[in-house]
Structure formats: C-alpha cells, structure tokens
Amino acid sequence: MDGTDSLRDDLLVLQCQQGDAAAFDQLVERWQQPLMNYAFRLTGDRTTAQDVVQETWMAVIRGLITLKDMTLFRAWLFRIASHKCQDHWRRNRSRERFVTEVQNQPEPCCTASGSPGAVRTDVAAAFRRLPPESRVVLALMYLEDFSVGEIADMLSLPEGTVKSRLFHARKQLRQLMEKDYGTDRR
C-alpha cells in the first residue's frame, strides 16, 4: 500500500467519524475485497467469509468513532476481521473438528506436471489444513503484507510469540506438503 492510499484512508476515516456516510461507502468499496480474500483464506468457505466480513463491518461502524490514530485503520480493520474469524471458530468448534479430520485426508495433486498452478493449488490445500492460529499469522504476514510488529499489535501478542508462531506455521505447512507430495516437490 502506498502513501497516497494511506492518506486517502486517513481522510475517509476522519470523514466517517464526522458522520459522512459516503466516506464510509468508499472505505467499504476499497477494503471489501481484501477483507473477503483474507476471511476466505482463514475460513476456507465463501459463505462464512461473507458472514465474517459483514460482522467486521458492523464492528467497524460501532467502533470507528473510537479510533484515535487514523494511520492504524488498516491494522485495526484486519484485527477485527481476525477476531471475527476466531469467534466463528469458537462457535463452530465441533463442526471444525469434523472438517479438519476430513481435510487431513491427503488430496490428490491436480496435475502431474508440477506446473506453478498445481503447486499453488497444493499449497492452498495444505494451508487450509493448518490450525486456525497458524493460518492467521501466515495470512497476515505473507498474503496481507503486515510486519511482525503490526501482527503482534493486531493479535495482542508479543513480537517473539508472533515470530515463534510464524516459524511453527511454516514448519507445519512444509511438513504437510512433504507428507502429501514427497520431499522432492518444489
């Protein structure tokens, strides 16, 4: 995200805090798809992702007035989405256990060619089988491009804990890939 986008967000947040509904619509338009992508990566289900994003925007409506530092809007928004995903997992813990058991069955590789598209599919399948806390840190770091410090603030964790979770999540992902597709797959 460049500085112009950040300044635009800052201005839109200020306008929203002053009651400008059109500014809120612009924030939603700007951040709806990134939030959907993030929630989908974490939940693995489009309908659930839509619910999470809707709950996120409702929380934003309620809490935007309390945001003191406009420059933190992006991190604040993704923190809310992360918490809403965690709420979803808590509500559906027994269902998630069943889904996890089903997902832990090795998925056949889509193609034997080893093409980049096939590797991407393999990584996505393994990613979906990771525990929720591992998916969160990996998605925030590598897919949403947040720093370790930003992730620590968003998840209310020490930076060392975030680094540890990232290490273990990468290790888990690698082990899943090796288990399903062998060690020579790259």
Question: Distance between CA 98 and CA 101 in Å, rounded?
Answer: 5
- On whether the pTM is more than 0.85, the answer is no
- Mind listing the domains of the chain with CATH numbers? 1-91 (1.10.1740.10), 106-186 (1.10.10.10)
Question: Distance between CA 180 and CA 110 in Å, rounded?
Answer: 12
What does the pLDDT profile of the chain (186 residues) look like in tens digits? 556 788 898 999 999 999 999 999 999 999 999 999 999 998 888 999 999 999 999 999 999 999 999 889 999 999 999 999 988 887 776 454 544 544 554 444 444 445 555 555 678 888 888 898 899 999 998 888 889 999 998 888 999 999 999 999 999 998 988 887 765 544
